[in-house]
Each structure stands twice: as C-alpha cells, then as structure tokens.
Amino acid sequence: MGAGCVRVRAVELLKRARVEWVAAVIGLVVGTSMVFVPYEFGSSLFQYIYPHVRLLGSLFLVGAGMMLVALMYPAWPAFVGWVGRAFVLAAFAVYWWAVCILPVSPTGTILYLFLMVLLVMEQRTLRRGQGLLLVFLASVALCFGVLMAWAPQDFVRFAMASLGPYMWWAGLLFLLLGTLLTVGLWRRKPLLCRLALGGLALLFLNMTVGVASRRSWAGMGVYSVLTLACALLAGGRQWPVLVGVRWRLFRGMALASVLPIVGVGAMASYLAQEALEAELHGKAQQAVAAETAWLEQTAAMASSLLRVYSRGPGFVALVREGNREGIRERLALLEGESGLFDAAWLLDEAGDTLMPSVRLNRANGNFAHRAYFQEAMKGGGQVQLSRPFITRSGEPYIVFTVPMDLGTGRRAFLVGGLSLRRLGLQPMLASPGYQVEIFDHRDGSLLRETARGNVLTRAPVLDLVGARALTRPEGLLETFDATGVRLVVAHAQVAGTPWTVVVTARLRDAFAPVTRMGAWVVAIAVLAGAIALLLSQWVGRDVAQRLESLRDGFAVLGTPSVEQRVPARGDDEIAQLTLGFNDMAARIDRTQKELREAIAIRDQFLSMASHELRTPLTPLRATLDLLIRQLGSGQGTNPERQRETIARLNRQVDRLTRLIGDMLDVSRLQSGRFTLTVAPMDLTALAREVVERIQVTRRERAEQLTLELPAEPLVGRWDEQRLDQLLTNLVENALRYSPPGAPVVVRVREDADGVRVEVEDRGIGIPAESVPQLFTPFFRARNAAEHYAGGLGLGLAICREIVERHGGGIGVRSDGPGQGTCFTVTLPRSAVAEAACFATG
C-alpha cells in the first residue's frame, strides 16, 4: 500500500462509481476524434455538425479537460468543474440532437440522453457519497434490450451488423443483464452487479467491433469506454483511492505529458487539414481547368479546321462542280489517321448526302431530321456544335457543322464528327483519385468520365448536386454520394461549348494522410502519456517508499528499543531529509536517554535526599525533645550534659548544612554559576588544616588518618575554599567507607607541572563496572549502597568540577570490592592563575 493510499472494498467502489468520469473520458475521446480526424465525420449521419465539427470537438476537449482537472485536483476552485461540465453538456446536447435525433439513431439517442441527465443529477447524489455510473449502465442496458427486441433492424443498420439475425437474442441478453444489474443495485448485492457488468462488457465490446467495422471513430471510442468501465467495475475487488505522492506524480505527469502533446498535435493537425483542404480544392480546380482547357483547344481546333475547309477556294470549287473524287480526297484528309476528326461528310441544303464518310461507311440519304443539320440551318455562317448522338452503326458522336457558300444562292454543309469513345481514351489530366465527368448541360448527356462508362447516359453528378448547382461558369461545393460519403465537387464550363467539366473527390480518401497523421499524433500522445505515467509510477514508488520509511521512522520516533534509523538512498532532497531525520532521531534518542537517566537520578535523588535529610532531623528532634525534658526536670542545669546535647545538635546541623551545600553546588554546576575565586595559597598548610579539623570532629577515627607532606610549602594560585571542600569530601569519603582501624593516608607532593594529592584507604573498594560513572551526580556504587554510610552521591561530582575548573584532573584506582581505593588529584600551578582569572572575569 502506497504512502497515503488506502484501499476501498468492492461494495464501496460500486457505490461510489461516478458517471462524471465516463462522461469526461467519452468527451475526451469524441473531441479528439473530431479535432484530429474531422473528415471521418463526413458521412451523411454527421451532415448537420460537419461544417462545425472542429469547433464542437474543441468544446468537447476543453470541457472534458476541465472536468478531468477538477476530478484529479479536488482542492481547485469549484467553478473549474462546473464550467467543464457545462461545456461537455452543451457539446453532448448539440451532438445528441444533430447526430442522434435528426438522423434517428436509437443507440445514440438513448446513450447520450441518459448520460446528460445522470451527469446533472449526480451532483446532488455525490453529497451522500453515491455515484450514478451503475444506474447509467443499467438504464442503457434495459433500453437497448427493449429496442433491440422491438426494432432490431435499426441496430443492424447503425451499430451491430455483426450480430445480424441474432439481434433479438442480443436484445434479450441486454434486457436480462440490465435487470440483473438493477436488482443487484436495489438489493445491494455486489456479486450480482459484477456478473451483470461482466456480461455487459462483452456486449459493449461486440458493439465496439461493429462500429469499428463501419469506421465510426466516435462510436468506437464511446463503446470502448463503456466496455472498459464495465470490465473495471466487474473485475475490481479492492481499489486504491489515489492520494499521496504517487497520485500527485501520476496526475502531474498525465497533465504535463498528454495535454501539451494533444494541444500541439491538434494545432498541427488543424493546420495540416487546412493546408490539405486548400490543396485538394486547388487540385480539383486545376484538374477542371486542365480538362476545360483541353476541351476548349480541341473544340477550337475542330472549328478552325472546318472553317478553313469551308472557305477554301479549291474545296468550294470542287463542291460547286460536283467533283466527287476531289471531294472524297479532301474529306479523307479530315478523317484520316493523322486528321482531327473521326468522320467527315458533306450535305446539301435539303439534307441529302453529297459525299458520305468513308470511315463510317455512311450510305447516301437524307439527314435533315438530325439536330446538327437543323441547328446549322439556323446558325448562319458559324460553326455549330451539336448535341451528341448515336450513329446508325451504334457509335456515339458529337459533330461540328459549318455552312459553305457555293454562290448563286447555293449552300452546302460540311460536317466533322468526333467519336466519344476515342475522346474517352484520351488520358485524364486530373489525379488518379479524382473522378472526372464531362457532360452536355443542355440535356445532361455524359460525354466522358474517368470510369469510361456508358456515354450519352445521364451524368451521375447531376443526381448528386443537381443541374442548377452547376449552372455557374465555375465553382466548388461539397455533397454526399449514395453511400453517405462526403465529396468535394469542382466544376467549370468549357468556353464556346455547351459542355461542363466536373471533378469529384472523396474527402475521406483525399484526407487519408491527415487522418493517418492525426492517428499517429493521438497514438504518440497516448504512448507518451503511458510512458510518462509508468515513469511517474517508478519515480513515485521510489519517492513513496523513502517517504514511507520516513513516516515509519516518525511513527516510532522516541520509542525505546526500536530502530529509528532510516536508510538514506540517493543524493537528492529526500536523502538529505533522511540524513537530517537520522541526526534528529539520534539527538532525540540521546536526549531521551539522558532524560530517562535524569528522571532515574531524580527519583534516586529524591529517595536519597528524603532519607538523608530525615537521618539528621530524627536525632535532631530527639535531642531537642531530650533537652526540653531535661530542662523541665531540672537535669538541664548540668553543664556537661548540656554540652553533650548541644554537640550532638551541632553535628546534625553540620550534616544538614553539608547536604544542603552539596545540593546548592550541584544546582550551580547545572546552571553554570559555579565559579572560582583564586588567590595565592599554600596547599600543604590547607591539607594539614583539613586533616586536623577532621581528626578533631571525628576523634574515634583520628588515629586512622595520616598525612604525608613535603618539607617545603607548595604555593600556587587556587581557590582555597573550593580546595578545602575538595580535600574534605575525599577524606570524609575515605573514612566513611573504611572499617574502624583501617588506615587512610593523605599525600601531597610536587610534580613536574604542578602538585599531586592522593587520598588512599583500605576500605570497601569500588566494583570495576562502577568506576566510569563514579563522578556522575547522584551516582553511588552498588557496594556503597549496600554498605550504608549516608550521602547523596554528590561529593565526587563536585570534586571533579572543582578540579576541572582549576585546569587539573581527578582519577580513581581500585582493585575491586574490599581492596581499597585511591583518589588522585593533579593541579597545575603555573597555568591555574590564568584559568582562574578568565573564569572569574
């Protein structure tokens, strides 16, 4: 379990499943499809939104993005989520009306209606911790089931063609699974809900395959999201609530990696689509212009050639004279292999044949009924281009007719014919993917097309856009073919002719490179997002594990006998934080150990202090009571008894004074107020005075105490009062822990750098384990506590402080319990004055 990450049971997961997530993901998928591959929405189903498909897709993307940001960052201002939901609802409403209601799509009508209604209702139910995703899935399943059983043909047409005759059974499955999911929700049975969701995942997957076969990107994305949602809800046992460092890195990387790529890709796709659309329109217009120019050139050459022949004096003379052989030779030049026309013949004013076409093997006859002859009769002296017709041999032709003035009021008509079949064999100038049609706009007869189909039939483009849309000299428009595929149509009229050239191209095929580019951009964005998310999980796992170690360290911080050190990995800020934590934990551990020791010492001190203070107070009170009784009985007038009584009182008072003095000295040591007052003095004289005073006060031990002094005085700058306290404590300790009669020796001698003082006894000795703590306040060796001799354990601590303040050192030597003890004090004599001066300020 990650840092700050908790697990949610399956029951709570099903209860909290929110339709808002599904709406946001569907909006993101549909919006991405519209922005990156808008020409996949070129079918007649999307005819109402196609002119604004990019704008609608942008609305989907912006709204879905804001919703996802609000879902991933709940602490952000609430208006982000509200604005995102408003955008998505507006986009869904437009899409639902224009794509589902107007073209009558039952699946989309049901799906998007429930999605919008429940998305609005969910904002109230979320206050009770209730999501509406399962309600949405159950409602969709029930409605799909009813409609599939009632009108299966609509579903075959729109979504599930793969099921075909099994559509009724699919509807029954939808109905049963929707009912099972409803019962599971009502009775709060998670097992029933998961079973129903698993079956719905399979049915939605089948619908995904069905719409994918129809190349419906939007439908494929929507049903894929529903399939994934059902599968996740069906298979989820325990789900993590995404919080903590890993979730923060995950959502940060997701937004930082996917959204910029999608945004940049959308801009690049838009620019590429605009450029390709302009190129497509330009190529279509160029193809129309090229075909038009070629036809104009052909018509102009044909007209010019006939005009030259009709006005040539030699040819006119041959016709006037009726020289059939000469006329045949001249006509053979027009319809020869190197000639422009496929056939040429000559008619008189009555329409009778003066010279038939050699190539057509036309027999003599009257052709006054032909439209080209009648138009030539009315056209004056200009070359006339007739409507196309089929000859007696079944060949489609168009002909040019020009009158010849033979003089004396006589006229003849020279006719040149072009075979539409040969015209169709000429290479098209447009791109291979374009459909080219040339037709006569007078009657709509097809003259030429890319597929080289039957000519002289009605031009197919007229059934798509109508003749009125092509009446302008040139233009560009978009329409749908019979299968609902969107086409771009460019057209132009051939000057000087009744012909119109039309070039059509399928938008989906023309924009296939942009579609592929958009698909690649989306794939790259998804791949980059997946890689970024995997990296965020890897980095987040490392960071989270180290933070978890720190969290666990903080949890046991200060707990005795628990390892508090956290291993530091790496060289980043977390490693520095870990090192800082380890240092802090070590300091806290030391502080707590010292605190525990201080508490133990305090308890020991209170116990010893109460005992030690009670020890002199008890005999003091008893002595006072005795003194009062003696005075009351008249015995107190005995001076000897009074002196003994007062001497006992004085000894107890001295003992109390020493105890209180020791406690005050320790208090001064701990507060830093323990200072020295140095002055020149003789250490030998001080040692002699201390020993004599102790011998007087303790007469019963006077013979045990001996003093060894040098012959000469040892003068130095010391604090006489503190050295008196030092020697008194050491000698009193030696006598206290020595049995009666055991010698105690005090030695004072001069060293090379100062003086040395030794106090040696043959008493109880010191255990080896107690030696290191012997100078700690309130510490008493184990055998000292067993051998009751009084004291608080402060004397040696005060002695060490006095010696160290003088710049010297104090040590102890003992061979063990019962082997006696020797305390050694070394004091500098040359440097002590300076140290004392600095100490006293």
- Whether residue 596 is predicted with pLDDT greater than 80 in this model: the reply is no
> What's the pLDDT band for 839 if we cut at 50, 70, 90?
very low
What does the longest C-alpha to C-alpha distance in the chain come to?
Answer: 199
Contact 415, 400 (CB under 8 A): yes
Structure tokens at 422: 């040969």
Between 760 and 463, residue with greater pLDDT: 760
pLDDT tens digits along 190-230: 888 889 999 999 988 888 887 777 777 778 888 899 999 89
- Stretch (H or E) spanning 505: strand 499-506
Across 598-608, average pLDDT = 63
For residue 744, pLDDT over 80 is answered with yes
Give the DSSP per-residue string, 617-636: HHHHHHHHHHHHHHHHHTGG
Average pLDDT, the chain: 76
- CA atoms lying within 13 Å on the CB side of residue 146: 9
Pairing of strands 474-480, 6-9: unpaired
Q: Model confidence at 832, in pLDDT bands (50, 70, 90)?
A: very low
DSSP tally for the chain: helices H, then strands E: 25, 20
Of 749, 726, 725, 745, which Cα lies nearest the Cα of 735? 745
Mean pLDDT computed over 281-295: 72
In the block, residue with structure tokens 């020409």: 39
CA distances from 8 to 12, 15, 171, 227, 231 (A): 6, 11, 34, 22, 17
- Provide the strand spans (E) within 472-603: 474-480, 486-493, 499-506
SS3 assignment, position 501: strand
Domain 278-510 coded CATH 3.40.50.10240: no
The predicted model scores a pTM of: 0.56
pLDDT tens string 417-455: 887 777 766 666 556 667 788 888 777 887 777 765 667
- pLDDT value of residue 142: 92
Among residues 36, 22, 44, 27, the alpha carbon closest in space to that of 99 is found at 44
- Whether 440 contacts 352, CB under 8 Å: no
Q: Which of 10-19, 122-131, 398-407, 468-477 shows the lowest mean pLDDT across its residues?
A: 10-19
Q: Per DSSP, what are the bridge partners of residue 479?
A: 487
pLDDT (tens digit per residue) in 133-143: 889 999 999 99
Query: Between these two residues, 302 and 545, which has the higher pLDDT value?
Result: 302
Are the CB atoms for 820 and 763 separated by under 8 Å?
A: yes
pLDDT digits (tens, 9 = 90+) for 799-825: 888 888 888 999 999 888 888 899 999
117 CB burial (10 A radius; 0-12, 13-18, 19+): middle
Select from 243, 169, 219 the least CA-distant residue to 199: 169
Q: How would you list the strands of the sheet with 744-750, edge to edge?
A: 705-708, 744-750, 754-761, 821-828, 809-813
Which amino acid is located at 822 in the chain?
A: C
* SS3 call for 824: strand
Q: How far is CA 777 from the centre of its chain?
A: 60
What six digits make up the tokens of 834?
């300076």
- 372 pLDDT band, cuts 50/70/90, is confident
Strands, E, within 273-432: which ranges?
A: 343-348, 353-355, 384-385, 389-390, 396-407, 410-419
- What value does the mean pLDDT take over residues 637-649? 67
Give the whole-angstrom CA distance, residue 816 versus residue 764: 8
Compute the C-alpha angle 118/121/126, nearest 5°. Answer: 110
Given this model, what pLDDT does residue 226 score?
92
Residue 45 Cα to chain centre, angstroms: 36
Which range is least confidently modeled, 5-9, 234-238, 641-645, 804-808? 5-9
Residue 294, number of CB atoms within 10 A of its CB = 17
- CATH code at 675-840: 3.30.565.10
Q: How many of the other CB atoms lie within 10 Å of CB of 513?
A: 10
Q: What is the pLDDT of residue 158?
A: 47
Position 698 scores a pLDDT of: 76
* Whether residue 6 has pLDDT greater than 50: no
